[in-house]
Amino acid sequence: MSQTAPTFWPDHIAGHTTHARRGGIRNAFRYGVDYVLIDPTSKAAPGLFSRNGFNLASVNDRNHGGPIRQGRGLPWAQEVFKAAGLNNEGLQILLLTQPSFLWYTFNPVSFWLAMEGEQLRAVIAEVSNTFGDRHSYLCHREGFAAIRAEDEVTAQKIFHVSPFQKLAGGYRFHFDIRPDRIAIRIALKDGEEGVIATLFGPRRPLSNRSLLRASLRRPFGAFRTIALIHWQALKLILKGAPYRQRPLPPEQEVS
């Protein structure tokens, strides 16, 4: 008897992201942002949203789980969790990401969430830079104990993201994943320098209406993301922040 994919209606997080630069040259911003939370095994979705197809909004496997535009989607995430010692049986693996709008996409960071019921067991933070590189950080507590809002998961920074930050220091991740809201905090600390970034917002069912509102409220989707990144880069240059050349990305996909 064949098994049918579990029914999981995608969520729309119409939230905000903030960045605050620490150290000698400070800069901060807050922008509205649209994320979706999907179960890659479920086909349930509103008409204006597609998986692996063209639509007003979409999420495509080739953009996640592996190198940019060469992704394998959910099987890649399952392999990463399994290789780290997490038993995939009984888990629901969800993808939290900015959707493509009219096929164009750019995601500074997406998250694979390994959920056991309402408990978060592990996260893969899939980080991409504007140079076309990607690296993922596997976040979990010892023994894959449930990650609570107050828990801090650390990782050494080994991937070049911003040309205005050194390839040094470490990350401190906080994840607060609830049925009605999401809040993620990532702090990069390198001595007195660093950045604190957050993503937060309510979880609501994805709908045609919410997608239309998002396209009107924040038009051009990922084009807007790229434009805002370059706008903030210009502000840092004008403030005198040194520009660092892109180093070679790490050989391993996940750390």
Element housing 208 (H / E): helix 208-217
Q: Round to whole Å and give the CA distance between 25 and 70.
A: 37
Taking alpha carbons only, the member of 44, 39, 34, 38 closest to residue 13 is 34
Which residue would you say has higher pLDDT here, 1 or 143?
143
pLDDT higher than threshold 70 for residue 2: no
Q: What is the DSSP letter of 78?
A: H
> What band does 225 get if pLDDT is binned at 50, 70 and 90?
confident
So what's the pLDDT on residue 5?
A: 44
Task: Write b or e for each residue in 92-103: b if 16 or more Cβ atoms lie within 10 A of its Cβ, otherwise e.
Answer: ebbbbbbbbbee
Tokens of 246: 């892109």
> What band does 233 get if pLDDT is binned at 50, 70 and 90?
confident
Q: Round to whole Å and give the CA distance between 43 and 50.
A: 9
Residue 222, C-beta contacts closer than 8 angstroms, at least 6 positions apart:
98, 100, 101, 104, 105, 106, 107
So what's the pLDDT on residue 6?
A: 52
So what's the pLDDT on residue 236?
A: 87
Would you tell me how many other CB atoms lie within 10 Å of the CB of residue 173? 19
Q: What is the pLDDT of residues 179-211, one digit of tens each?
A: 999 999 999 999 999 999 999 999 999 999 999
Rounded to the nearest integer, the mean pLDDT of the chain is: 92
Q: CB-side exposure of 38: number of CA atoms within 13 Å?
A: 27
Residue 92, C-beta contacts closer than 8 angstroms, at least 6 positions apart:
6, 8, 39, 114, 115, 116
So what's the pLDDT on residue 248?
A: 87
pLDDT higher than threshold 80 for residue 223: no
In three-state secondary structure terms, 202 is: strand
Identity at 8, one-letter amino acid code: F
Q: Can you spell out the DSSP letters for 6-32?
A: PP-PPEEEEEEEEEEEESSS-EEEEEE
Taking alpha carbons only, the member of 86, 89, 103, 100 closest to residue 38 is 100
User: Could you give the percent of the chain with pLDDT greater than 90?
Assistant: 73
Q: Which bin fits 252, alpha (ψ -120 to 50), beta or left (φ > 0)?
A: beta
pLDDT higher than threshold 80 for residue 44: yes
Q: What is the pLDDT of residues 112-134, one digit of tens each?
A: 999 999 999 999 999 999 899 99
So what's the pLDDT on residue 36?
A: 97
Which residue would you say has higher pLDDT here, 246 or 59?
59
> What band does 65 get if pLDDT is binned at 50, 70 and 90?
very high
pLDDT higher than threshold 80 for residue 1: no
pLDDT higher than threshold 70 for residue 4: no
Q: What is the pLDDT of residues 74-106, one digit of tens each?
A: 999 999 999 999 998 889 999 999 999 988 888
Which residue would you say has higher pLDDT here, 216 or 5?
216
Would you tell me how many other CB atoms lie within 10 Å of the CB of residue 47? 10
User: Could you give the percent of the chain with pLDDT greater than 70?
Assistant: 98
